[in-house]
Structure 1
Amino acid sequence: MPDGISYHAKDILFKSLSALYQNQALDVYGLHGLPRIKALLPNEFPSVRADDKRADTVFLLEDDSILLLEYESNERFIDNHLKYLEYACRILRTSYQQEKRIRPIRIVVIYTSDVTSVHQHLDAGDVFLSSKAVLLGEFNGDAIFQAIEEKIHNGEPLTPGETMKLILVPLMHTRLDRQTMIEKTIELAKTIREEPKQLHIIAGVLTATDKFIDPSYAQKVKEWMKMNKVFRLLVEDLEQEKEKAVKQAEKQKAIEIAKNLLDVLPIHEVAKRTGLTVAEVAELAKEMDQNQSPVQ
């Protein structure tokens, strides 16, 4: 995200998109066999390479597997699958380092209307990578947009499936060029009466079309989002979450210091030096006594 809007912009899009996807099944893609989404995960992976280090969207599914959801408009299938392989390796490495486990990884590639046939495998002998393709060229974007537009103008609420379809309309087969459909979709979303739903849809469109949208138009949309009341509320909510996390980290640090001081200082003195209450230090001392191994 450009730095000119707000350093919160990326976090807000992430938070808004997470709320949308967690309440939305992947049925609209025709992925009926996948477990439902549990959480949206960070999509940037540490790497020595500067290019292609950011996946499009990464989810944790209810079976604790990882879903890589990628958007492509080209037929560079080998290049793309090599890219997905790098993502998978980074996820596996991080998962193993942090959790000492190997999480199953699923790869779904959403192809725009530019692509009409696909290859879903990369076969390199003992190394084999498989993906599942969704061809948006098989969707009638004009008909979908018209039906949703009519519902919005009539003040009718959109179903979760319609919400997701509206986000994907610019990538479907339509009579208009992609940038025009992106702008029409976002402008239509702005007319939705429910402001949280507006933000969810626009965040979704910006994410799904990140590789294709005109940068100057994307900047204008993000500036508009910055002025949105719901956006400001989400900023406040995000600040509260971060403040809470900082306080929790500070308290945990105080507890670790208290554990060391309890060997040499009385409870009331430890409380004074760490900022913990006497009751908290007393409870900590009790736990330490209970966990201490008996002398043989």
Structure 2
Amino acid sequence: MSDVAYQNKDIVSKILTDGMKEKSFAVYGVPMSRIKDVLPVNLPAIEANEMATDNLFRLEDDSYAVVDYESSFSEKSKIKYVCHIARILKKYGSIMKLRMIVLCTSSTCRINTVLDAGCLRLSIEPGYLSSIETDRVFENIRKQIEDGKKLNDTEVMQMIVLPLTVKNREEQKELLEEVVNLAKNIKEEEQQMFVLSGVITFADKIIEPDFARRVEEWIKMTKVGRLFEEEKLQAMADVRQSMEKTIAEKDMALAEKDMALAVAEKEKAIAIAEKQHEALKLASVRLLLKGSSPKEVSKTTGLPLKEIEEFLK
């Protein structure tokens, strides 16, 4: 595997941005209504580059929030924001009501929020993560997770930026690992994936590549259950279609005389076939996890080699 890109948000951006809906950056000290939609932020231009800001959200009050995350800030950052805004207006229309929100990590001091170029004035709305009480928030979240409770939106939004609420780089890395390990104990899979995705996205400037890869692998593993569910539904449909065809061919007379009985028998046969197939799938996964090769697993379970190789992927 190659090193994780400096801007690694593309790896987990779909999980993160989808999860942002119905949430708000008010928890970071920026008063705003909840996020309604997440808009694309790739902003190609004639120049030989493709510019993208961190996020573009449509809010419930029909205004739009351009959100950037900064661990360092300079006057040049404002020029960058002006370019972002100009391209957004060009892409989506000049009648948009835009807000420029910058979330500053604890290492960023108070920033000058205004760019006044005479004919153009940019006002930035800063959110300072240093305002979050790190220890208190961490202990509250830890207790909620240990008690098996679902985190509310405020706790989730606090958790994904928690490593950036301390100043020292080593402290950030230590807290990052603690937060990730804590997130792995979140019971609800969707919330767990959102938190993990958010943590490695927000912490992309401090996270070690190897650690980021391990987190990404964990995120992928949490999706396995969902992928198996999709495969199971497809397998059920295939089995049902096959059984229906067989029953229709062999038991047409019976179906005409007693349709209710035929349907019951058909459902019973399908259920048995599905249960057997599911058992073979689970057995195959266990064998693969123990180190058996796809060919060995196929020979043992009787499932097609192609299906076993899909499990391995």
Q: TM-score, normalised to structure 1's length?
A: 0.68
Deviation at 1:189, TM superposition (A): 0.5
For 1:3 and 1:72, the matched residues in 2 are separated by 25
For 1:149 and 1:126, the matched residues in 2 are separated by 50
Counterpart of 1:190, as a letter, is K
User: CA 1:86 to 1:168, structure 2 compared with 1: closer, same or farther past 3 Å?
Assistant: same
Q: Where do 5+ consecutive residues of structure 2 fail to align?
A: 232-313
User: CA 1:195 to 1:220, structure 2 compared with 1: closer, same or farther past 3 Å?
Assistant: same
1:154 is the counterpart of 2:147: yes
Give the 5 Å matches for 1:65-144. Answer: 65-76=63-74, 78-96=75-93, 101-144=94-137
For 2:23, the equivalent position in structure 1 comes to: 24
Secondary structure of 1:31's aligned partner:
coil
For 2:175, the equivalent position in structure 1 comes to: 181
Counterpart of 2:129, as a letter, is L
Secondary structure of 2:42's aligned partner:
coil
Say whether the 8 Å CA contact 2:114–2:121 is kept in structure 1: yes
Deviation at 1:116, TM superposition (A): 2.6
Q: Identity of aligned pairs, percent?
A: 35
1:225 is the counterpart of 2:223: no
User: CA 1:52 to 1:111, structure 2 compared with 1: closer, same or farther past 3 Å?
Assistant: farther
Please say which of residues 67-76 and 18-27 is displaced more in the overlay: 18-27
The root-mean-square deviation of aligned C-alpha atoms, in Å, is 3.0
Say whether the 8 Å CA contact 1:12–1:235 is kept in structure 2: no
Counterpart of 1:41, as a letter, is L
Counterpart of 2:99, as a letter, is R
Deviation at 1:75, TM superposition (A): 3.2
Secondary structure of 1:53's aligned partner:
strand
Please say which of residues 131-140 and 168-177 is displaced more in the overlay: 168-177
Say whether the 8 Å CA contact 1:66–1:106 is kept in structure 2: yes
For 1:149 and 1:46, the matched residues in 2 are separated by 42
User: CA 1:183 to 1:89, structure 2 compared with 1: closer, same or farther past 3 Å?
Assistant: same
Q: Where do 5+ consecutive residues of structure 1 fail to align?
A: 238-296
1:175-217 Cα offsets, whole Å, 9 max, x none, are: 7622222222111101111111110111111222233322232
Say whether the 8 Å CA contact 1:59–1:68 is kept in structure 2: yes
For 1:64, the equivalent position in structure 2 comes to: 62
Q: TM-score, normalised to structure 2's length?
A: 0.65
Deviation at 1:174, TM superposition (A): 6.5
1:230-261 Cα offsets, whole Å, 9 max, x none, are: 68549969xxxxxxxxxxxxxxxxxxxxxxxx
Say whether the 8 Å CA contact 2:30–2:126 is kept in structure 1: no
Say whether the 8 Å CA contact 1:225–1:231 is kept in structure 2: no
Counterpart of 2:95, as a letter, is I
User: CA 1:192 to 1:83, structure 2 compared with 1: closer, same or farther past 3 Å?
Assistant: same
Counterpart of 1:74, as a letter, is S
For 1:14, the equivalent position in structure 2 comes to: 13
1:19-59 Cα offsets, whole Å, 9 max, x none, are: 32213233312333x23211112222113556682211211
For 2:82 and 2:49, the matched residues in 1 are separated by 14
Partner of residue 170 from structure 1, selected from 139, 154, 163 = 163
Say whether the 8 Å CA contact 1:37–1:59 is kept in structure 2: yes
For 1:10 and 1:173, the matched residues in 2 are separated by 22
Count of aligned pairs between the two proteins: 228
